[in-house]
Amino acid sequence: MRAILAAAVLALSSAAASGPADAQDVLRGQALAERWCANCHVVTRTAATARSDGLPTFPALAARKDVTAATLKGAMSASHSRMPDLQLGARDQDDLVAYIFSLRGR
């Protein structure tokens, strides 16, 4: 019984500790998006129009149920003609994914 209680307390304290870090990751992801991605993508929820070149907006990506962290990271990592090779590290990718997912409807 004590082991179960101790495990529950540890899990709750770990979840509480990750809350503020998650918010920081989203804010850092937003800053990265505004700096590196906004040249080609609409990155904010409040944009009135999308670009005419067919590139997906971040809110549109967030709204798609088939978009996962893995698919987003794959797109960030893949070099193809439309996506510049930004050499994003794992933390940058994680923070951009956190920001994009923060744009999902609540």
Q: What is the pLDDT of residues 50-84, one digit of tens each?
A: 666 778 899 999 999 999 999 999 888 866 566 77
- The one-letter amino acid code at 86 reads L
Q: What angle in degrees, to the nearest 10, is found between the helix axes of 90-102 and 2-32?
A: 90
CA angle 103, 104, 106 (to 5 degrees): 115
Its domain, for residue 90, covers 20-102
In a domain? residue 31: yes
Average pLDDT of the residues in 81-92? 80
In a domain? residue 24: yes
pLDDT at 18 > cutoff 60: no
Number of domains in the chain: 1
